[in-house]
Every structure is written in C-alpha cells, then in structure tokens.
Structure 1
Amino acid sequence: MDRNLLTIGCALCFTTCGLASAAHAAEQPSAAFEDVSALKLQPVDDAVLANQTGKGIVGDIISGVVVTLLSQWQLPNGATAAASGSLAIGMNTPNQPSVQFNSSASVTGPNGTSGSGSNRNASASGGQNVSVNGVSQIAQIAGNGNLGTNQALIDFDASPGSMTQGSYNNATLAAASNANGSVTASVNLANGGISIALRTPAGMATQTIAPSSAQQAGAIAQLLQIAGNNQQVANQLQLHLQTQQMSASMLRQIGVLQALQNSVRR
C-alpha cells in the first residue's frame, strides 16, 4: 500500500472521529466505570474540561469509514463535467489500518448550440476563502434559471456490507478536461485530505475534506459558485461510519492518557 495513501487515510479517519465526537454524548457510561467505590473524585472547572479530548468515546470506537464525494455540472449546451472520489478505511486492528481509494473524472462535449450560459456581468466569489471547523455548505449563485444543491449524508449505523462494497484502485488520481481547457474535473489527495473540483466558464463546484491540525479542527466543506444562466450543479457527500465496542482495558488506557495530558497542560 502506498505510504502517502495510508497517511491520508489515517488522517481522514481521525478527522471523521473528531467531527462525529458529539454523536454519543447522551448515551449511558460503559460498565467499565460502574465500580467507583475505590475512586477519589475531585471537582474540575470548565477551563480544564474544555481541553478534554475524546468526548464522543462512551464505550464505542470507530472501526470503519467510507467517504464518497461526487460533483456533477451540466451546462445549457449539453456539456457535462463530473468527478468522484471514494475512500474506504478499515480499523479492524488497532495499528493496522486498511486504506483503499478510487477516483474518476469525465468531461463530455456539447451536444447543442445554446452556449455555455456564462454571464460576464455576473460574479460569485469569496466562498473559497471561508474557514469553518466541522461541516460547511456554501452556495453563491448569480444568474437566472440555475439549479445548485449541496447534499451531505452522515450515517452512524453503517453495516459491515456497506464498508466493503465498491471497487478501489489504490490512489490513482483522476483528471479530465475539454479540448480548450474551459471545462475541467479533477480529484486530488493533498495535505492529508481529499478534494474534488469542477471548473466551467460559469463557475466552479468543490468539495474538500481536511484533517485536523495544530491550527484548526477537521473540516468538511462543500462550495458552489455559479455565475451564469441555466446551470445544473450538484455536490453530494456520503459518510458511513461503523463502530465497535471498546474493551474495558482500552477505556482505562484512554482515561490514563487524558489524565497525563491534562497534567502536562497545567
């Protein structure tokens, strides 16, 4: 397996865990914490609690992730652009993740004479500079008769079958364009993340998953910028998570690690 792909896969998996951290906050504590007779409890203020990590771990750990990105653009003259990327990450053993990646990109020529629909008097910009932690969806549309959608589905109850479906070509990146380069579709793996982009004379559509870093938390971003007429554009993202029960020993190890981290911060 390509080492860069493995690094990206692990980073995306940890980003996913961070984005999903609040999902199980209301569940009951694990049985590993039922016997507290030997523990001495000490009140902790909000400043210390704010630095806690792993808030979403309550007896479960994410053991598999499948993320699929798909962007499509149809111009009024019939020209189309499409790009997709699918990443499957298996965490069946603690230090042996399995990562597979598949991508595709296509651009088809016009089948009519109605033009690209671009409007030189319209502009849509600025959304690409927005920085958001978590999930963001931005649509900037200038023109008439346009249809643009950003859709994101996050499934926390993925079945084992959904984690293995599909074919993967292990990090073959995809790119396509028309003859003059005015319409392009691309899929990229960079900086520990994945992104897909469509660019046409009437604007662009992008989707990006960026892992967390020292500067910011992880992010999933969908962006549409349409400056034209009669455009049909769609961004779709599907994120499937599979969880498995954590052992009591692993829960204790995490608790000890967090206690040591908080001691260092003080």
Structure 2
Amino acid sequence: MDRNLIAIGCALCFTTCGLASVAQAAELPSTVFEDVAALKLQPVDDAILANQTGKGIAGDIISGVVITLLSQWQMPNGTTAVATGALAIVTNTLNQVSAQVSSSAAVIGPGSNAGSGANHNASATGGQNVNVNGVSQVTQVAGNGNLGANQTVIDFNATASSLSDGSYNNATSALASNPSGSVKAGVAFGNGGISVSLQTPAGIATQTIAPGNAQQAGMIAQLLQIAGNNQQVANQLQLHLLTQPMSAAMLRQMGVLQALQNSVRR
C-alpha cells in the first residue's frame, strides 16, 4: 500500500507544482464558509517552480508532502455532508519514506423543516465527462442564491511537525449517508489515486486525483454540479510541501550546470 500512496504524492507534486489558481462561481457573499474564505493563495515565482519541477519524495528538494482533500455541502434545511481524505508522505533522517492516510465522512442534520432546495426543473450535467491531462476545475450551477467554490492551495512553507502530527486514522475509505440515502459522502484511496464525493438531491461535488499511465498523464479534477437554490458547496485541495535547504555545494553545482547548458544552447 505504501508504494501506491507514495506514487500518489509524487504524481501530485509533478502535476501541481505549476498550479496556483482558484476558480469560484458564487451568487452569495464568500462569507458563508469561513474556512473557504480563510484560504489564501501563496504566490510562487518562476525560480521556485523551476527548482521544484521533476523533484519527488526522496529527491533533492522535496522531503515531505501532505495532500488534503475536503468537500462540504450545506443545504437550506441545515443538512451538511462532509468528506475528507488526507495523505502524508515524509522522509526520516535515514532518507526512508513512510506514508500515512486518513479518511472521514459524515452527514449531519437536517436542522430545520426547510426543504433541501433541490430544483427538479433545473439540471447541471456534462462536467463529469471532461477529461483533462493535468488540473481541471469545473463549476456548473443552475439555480439561485448558490455558492460554489473550487479551491486549490499550494504551500511551500510546511514544517516537519505539521507533516507528522499523528492525526491520521489509516482508514483507506469512509462512507456516510442520511437514513433515506438521498445524501451521501464518501472517500476512497485505491488504484494509486484518491477520490472524494458528495451526492445530494441538489447535485454532486467530487474531487479526484488519478496517477498517470501509458495512455494519459496524471489528473487532478474538482467538479461541482448544483441544480437547486440556496446551496453552499466547496471543494478544497491543499498541498503542503516541505523542502530541504540547499547547501552551498549544491548551489555551486547547479550554477555550473546552468552555465554549461547555456553554453550548449549558444
């Protein structure tokens, strides 16, 4: 299992280190989800990205990574569905790699007699058929008063303690639903990838990480489909990277290598 999980982390690093974007589609103020609003982009310049590209766990640069996928859906009757999947990969002082996972899912409510807000005359379809090599964020909304946010955050300032805080339950899957089965939340690690999904009467929210193969490159996909009114939905992907300090000798070697490459180009 560890080998597959490590492959997930490396593939995600290779695919995501060039990404720093947020896609939002909202008809309500962004204060409805404080945890979503609190996420901020961290600008990453070309020099940092150039050093990260092609570097994986146990490589020259990255010594640890935490991937967290969180999807949350709140309906107007107070019913809330939440699913979270997390993967931590770290290297110890002997340069040995270890991996931990965590999965959780919950459906809470309803908290009032209000309806689910689903609109059976509205539809939001087609986004699940989008096939992108790399990263895709799709938001489809049919209704009024909805908030839908796909967010991806990359953090290059992770600390060793944050990558091994012991909060992982090592569960590779989790599933929850309400008594009627109309609201479901699920997380699954498998086939070298991660999937998080929410299903409600008013639509779906999914996040998928799939490794590359001979036929296609790796994929990171966030999808929201909302067919209803007054829905509050968020997909969050957070990637925290712990980087090794570069020694003076390594900096000199890189300088010589770049000088040789420039000489060859000329």
Q: How many residues align?
A: 223
Deviations 1:150-188 (A, max 9, x none): 111011232222212351111342110011110000001
Q: Contact conserved, 1:21 with 1:56, CA < 8 A, in 2?
A: no
Deviation at 1:241, TM superposition (A): 0.9
Deviations 1:207-245 (A, max 9, x none): 111122222222221110000111111111110011225
Q: Distance in 2 between matches of 1:115 and 1:124?
A: 20
Contiguous gaps of at least 5 residues in structure 2 = 19-43, 258-266
The one-letter amino acid of 2:132's match is V
Q: Distance in 1 between matches of 2:242 and 2:201?
A: 40
Contiguous gaps of at least 5 residues in structure 1 = 31-53, 256-266
Instruction: Report the CA distance shift for 1:90/1:99 in structure 2 as closer, same or farther (over 3 A).
Output: same
Q: Contact conserved, 1:100 with 1:171, CA < 8 A, in 2?
A: no
Residue number in structure 2 paired with 1:196:
196
2:7 to 11, 14, 25: 11
Worse overlay, 90-99 or 184-193: 90-99
Residue number in structure 2 paired with 1:226:
226
Q: Contact conserved, 1:71 with 1:198, CA < 8 A, in 2?
A: yes
Deviation at 1:109, TM superposition (A): 2.6
Instruction: Report the CA distance shift for 1:120/1:20 in structure 2 as closer, same or farther (over 3 A).
Output: closer
Secondary structure at the aligned position of 1:174 is classed as strand
1:34-113 matched pairs, under 5 angstroms: 56-57=54-55, 60-92=60-92, 96-113=96-113
Cα-Cα RMSD = 2.8
Worse overlay, 88-97 or 63-72: 88-97
Deviations 1:179-203 (A, max 9, x none): 1110000001122011110000000
Secondary structure at the aligned position of 2:6 is classed as helix
Residue number in structure 1 paired with 2:47:
26
State the percentage of identical aligned residues.
63
Residue number in structure 1 paired with 2:132:
132
Residue number in structure 1 paired with 2:145:
145
Secondary structure at the aligned position of 2:242 is classed as strand
Q: Distance in 2 between matches of 1:158 and 1:16?
A: 16
Q: Which has the larger radius of gyration?
A: 1
Q: Distance in 2 between matches of 1:17 and 1:144?
A: 37
Secondary structure at the aligned position of 2:173 is classed as coil
TM-score (norm 1): 0.75
Secondary structure at the aligned position of 2:154 is classed as strand
Residue number in structure 2 paired with 1:263:
none
Secondary structure at the aligned position of 1:18 is classed as helix
Residue number in structure 1 paired with 2:164:
164
Instruction: Report the CA distance shift for 1:128/1:166 in structure 2 as closer, same or farther (over 3 A).
Output: farther
Q: Contact conserved, 2:172 with 2:188, CA < 8 A, in 1?
A: no
Residue number in structure 2 paired with 1:45:
none
Instruction: Report the CA distance shift for 1:93/1:123 in structure 2 as closer, same or farther (over 3 A).
Output: farther
